[in-house]
Structure 1
Amino acid sequence: MNAEAHGRSTTQQAGHDQHITTNNYYGPPPSTPPTVGDGGGWFSAHRGAWIASGASVLVALIGVLGSQLAGGGSNGTADDAASPTPTVSVSPQPSPSVSATTGSPTAQPSGGAVQWQGKLVLTEIDSSGDKDLDAPQPVDAGNRDDNDFYASNDTIRAHDHALVSVWDDSTRLPEFADCSSTVTAAGAGEQAVKEGMVLCVKTSEGRIGRLKVTEADNGFYSTLRFDGVVWPLAE
């Protein structure tokens, strides 16, 4: 076998032993996707638009947030200004009067109450002419020592620990505090009277009263008439 024949034999043998695959491409080769690092591509081309859009959105968010914060502070101020300040009403409490002479406080009867007010008659005809001013209605207590005042000639006289004094201010009638101070300072066991005189009295149980003389009859039996008021004991 010559050299040419040997070479053909070898080529044919290789064709039998190997399968050669041939890929055929038609048209231009596919393009390679752009990469970020190559300085080109779609993102690089539109990067300015993305940055501008992002900045616009950020500015809008900051504006909305600032408006909400400002609005919340304004509402709080307006609400605070509009809210009325609560006021507490305090009812004045009666304060104890003070004696002008002794300076000691005198308890007031509750609510300016009056125990009794009306006409009072004291007479010396018999013991029934004596009166107990601690009773709801001044009457003879039945026991001379339980009565407070009686009449003798032109004089009002006191039983037990009762007291009587003259109110000297002719411009007005004394109230509770006035009589309390007066009778505490100048009270005595008896007082000569005449029509128009005003007396302040204190009963054996400590009640304060005012007696204005409307009649002083010094006949055979002395009779004294008064317009009176008695205040209750302080609670």
Structure 2
Amino acid sequence: MNSEEPRQGWPAPPGHPPTGPANGGYDGYGGGYGAPAPIVVARTSSHRGAWIGAGATLVAAVIGVVGTYLVSSNNDGNGTPPAAQSSATTSATPSGGESRGGDDAPSDSSQSPETTQSDGATESGESSAPPETAATPTPPAKPAGTVEWQGPLVITFAEDKDLDSAPPAESEIRDENDFSVYPFGGHMLQPGDEVKALVWKDSTNKTPAYEDCARDIDTLGTSTATELKTGMVVCAATNDGRLARLTVKELAGLSSDTRVIFDVVVWSR
């Protein structure tokens, strides 16, 4: 027996071809101790996907460069600036549609809700307030002793007199009348409400002036009725605070026809 021949069960040394019926094994069975099968490196699908992705990225980059070049060319030319195109697009609206301008769009003053009219009023119906007129100043009070009215005066049984009016007349308000006359065995003079009367008595027959009546009327005057005689002088304070002097000139009539004629002076006080 040749000693260089491989023994049963030992692996064949390198360089010896496999032996055996089918696959070169010593035992005649497949998968015996023959030479190992050659290693085959297969290209997987992952490599193909990587190449496809790289190609797509390259194509996108080329398209971006071309687009940038075209935009730059349009900006350098005579085309409409982007801002102008945007304004034109905004202004141009379909017929019957609304124009949706930005917040900076100029307002139309003709659409103002309140437009001032020539007569000072507004379209909303509100009128401008008229300028305030200055209050009429109150005339200064007259100095005491100023003659308010002077002249003859008739007082009858049916017609009282208000000496605070000029000329004295009957007031529709009974309390404003200062004097009335009535028959009571003679011709009587009756002072009204809040009126004082004083029969002037002076031995010298001096006609009292304003100062004389003003001095005595507040302390000596009364509201008592007085029987009149021709030539009698009566000082009086009216219900409005004026001072008066009544001089009896004539007594006439009886009963309901009673009448007295006076010479009257009314002073401010």
**TM-score, structure 1 normalization:** 0.49
Does 1 or 2 have the higher relative contact order (CA < 8 Å, sep 6+)? 1
**TM-score, structure 2 normalization:** 0.43
| Larger CA Rg, structure 1 vs 2 | 2
> If each structure's helix is expressed as a fraction of its own residues, which one has the higher value?
1
